[in-house]
Structures are given as structure tokens and as C-alpha cells.
Structure 1
Amino acid sequence: MSQKDSNILDLLKGNLVKGDKDFELTDEECIGFYFSAMWCPPCRGFTPKLVSFYNKVKCQGEKFEIIFMSGDFDEETFHEYYAEMPWAALKFDLSSIKDTISEKFNIIGIPNLVIVDKAGNLITTNGRGAVLKQFGETVSLTWT
């Protein structure tokens, strides 16, 4: 089975970190793929809002994880930007997996937040809009 044909969540096995430790998805009900890069001003503006959202839903006990899909040009910049994020990340040197997932969801620009369910089925390609709509309010995992 090619990368393109496999379940997108299967591509992540053994390929994630959280902080400086290896990480595996376990019992998440939904997963966000956060396509972003340090060099992108709109990304730099959205990331703190997403951190706030993420922290609130995690404190509420929601089974939710975000995976940073870096568009940074070098590993040093990736690590500097990722240090601002409390969630998981695809290891920097795995751009082919990022490209496969990006292609699957027709990612054209960044920042972009795609939400899938625990089976990898698409919930929304407008997670960013849903987060911004709820920003500053009581948050929930409502993606419409």
C-alpha cells in the first residue's frame, strides 16, 4: 500500500513527537492537523489563539490532539516555533508524510487547521474558522 492509499493516521505511527519525546495517538476522538510555519505572519497571529483553544478544551477533558505540520525551511526554525506549541508534531524530517496529508486535504495556504475523527475521516477543512469563531468564548469541539 502506498502512502497515498493508506489511512492518514497510520502514516503518523512512530513519526510524532510531543515536546522532546516520541508520541503516539491513543484515544483521541478528533485530531487537528495544523499546517503552519514561523515565517508566516498570519500563522504567528493564529498560533497563540490556537494554543488558548487547545489548552481550554484539554482542561475540559476533551479527547483532542493537534499535530503540527511544519512548513518551516530548516529544523532549527521548526524547533524554535514548535517550542510555542503544547501539542504533538510530525517530526521535521518527514516532509513526504506532510506532503501526502496536505495533498489529501488540498491544503493550498497556511495557516490551516484540518480536523479529522479518530478513524481519520474528514470533519472539516475550516478548523481555523471554527476556532476563531469561538475565541474568547466558552470553547467546545464544535466544528461548524
Structure 2
Amino acid sequence: MKTNFLYMAVAAALLAGAGALQADNTVYPGFKGKLVESKGRKVDKFDDAALAQSKYYAIYYSASWCGPCRAFTPDLVRWYKRNKSKNPQFELIFVSSDRSAEDMAAYMKEDGMDWPALAFDNKKDTPGLTKYSGRGIPCLVFIDETGKVLSDSYVDGKYVGPRKVLEDMEKILKGGGAAGTSSSSSTSGLDSLKKPAN
């Protein structure tokens, strides 16, 4: 009887451990079917099925009318092109604060955003992506598949900017471990990004 109990206890522990290793992706269902991608000066539906397997998501809150956003976006485009192919378990998603769907599409095209975006008309019914935004833009937030924030442009209510998040993403995606949201921001090139634009 003790042997059966021991086997059952070990089996339960193994099953619990396996469940912990395979955490459910709670982020993907919140935006499933609501993403678009740049197709010239228009956007078209994005096939997001592969994103169900993603372990990490970065959410980029930005707009074409925002000067600091326009200054940062080319750096983010370069970072994405350099890192995306090495990190298939990661995806970046753009959430626009533009004034129209046309403005959003033009911004994505002009700046070469090769990543998906939340469809302009889906912002109000997609709290799974919009809930992470800070008080101003540009704002970059890095989360895992369970929605846990790993790095944010805002730390304890203070704007530290998206470059800090890029640095943290680089470390985490290279296996350097989870970044704390209290780490300090690199100040090189951040002068134009210190204050969020509204």
C-alpha cells in the first residue's frame, strides 16, 4: 500500500512539473484573428496561427504623428531585422495611436515595419494587448506568453524609454534570464525619448 502511494505521489509530481513547463499561452487568444500586416499602402489580414507557439511578445505603442516615435522606430526596425530570424519564439506587435487606419498603414509602410499590428478598429475590443500601454508613446513592453511583464518603458510610473526594453529583450532572448523592471536605462541617444509624447 505504501508503495502504491509512493508511485502515485511521484506520478502526480511529474504531471504537475510537466504542466508547469508547458505554461498555457494566455496572450495569443486575446488577439487571435485581430492582426494585420503591411501590404504596400494598405494592411491585410495577418495569419497569426504560428504566434500561438510564441514564448515572448513585444508590444510597440506608437504613432506616425509622434516625433520621438519616428526617431525610435528605425532603430526598432533594425533590431527586429537583426534578431527575429534567430528568435522564432518571439514576435513584435504594433499597436497604433494614429488618427486613422490610413495613417497607420502609411506609417507601417514608410518605416518598414515587417511585424504584425493590431487592426486599427480592434483597439477597443482587444484589452489583452492594449492593457500594457503606458501614459505616453513611444512605449515598448516585453511580455511572456502568460502575460507577465518582463520589461517596460515605464518603471514604477517613471518613463525610462523603449531603448531600455530593447536591451532587456536582447538579454532575455539570448538566454540571459528575465530582466527586472527596475533596471536603469541606457542614456545614449535617449535625450529625445525622455519625455513621453501625448
- State the shift of 1:94 in Å: 1.2
- State the shift of 1:88 in Å: 0.6
Question: How much identity, in percent, do the aligned residues show?
Answer: 35
Q: Give the alignment's TM-score, normalised by structure 2.
A: 0.59
2:165 alignment partner in structure 1: 130
* 1:22 equivalent in alignment to 2:46: yes
- State the shift of 1:60 in Å: 2.0
Question: Number of residue pairs matched?
Answer: 132
| Larger fraction in helix | 2
1:9 alignment partner in structure 2: 28
1:31 alignment partner, SS class: strand
Extract structure 1 runs of 4+ deviating beyond 4 A: none
When Rg is computed on C-alpha atoms for both structures, the one with the higher figure is 2
Which amino acid in structure 2 is aligned with residue 67 of structure 1? I
1:45 alignment partner, SS class: helix
8 Å contact from structure 2 (residues 30, 128) kept in 1: no
Q: Which runs of 5+ in 1 are unaligned?
A: 1-6
Q: Give the alignment's TM-score, normalised by structure 1.
A: 0.78
CA distance, structure 2, for counterparts of residue 39 and residue 87 of structure 1: 20
8 Å contact from structure 2 (residues 31, 129) kept in 1: no
Q: Once structures 1 and 2 are overlaid, which stretch shifts more, 30-39 or 51-60?
A: 51-60
Q: CA RMSD in A?
A: 2.3
Structure possessing the higher relative contact order (Cα contacts under 8 Å, 6 or more residues apart): 1
Which amino acid in structure 2 is aligned with residue 91 of structure 1? A
| 1:15-68 C-alpha deviation (Å, 9 max, x unpaired) | 012333323123222001100000000000111101111111113244211110
- State the shift of 1:130 in Å: 3.0
Q: Which runs of 5+ in 2 are unaligned?
A: 1-25, 39-43, 154-160, 180-198
2:84 alignment partner, SS class: helix
Which amino acid in structure 2 is aligned with residue 49 of structure 1? D
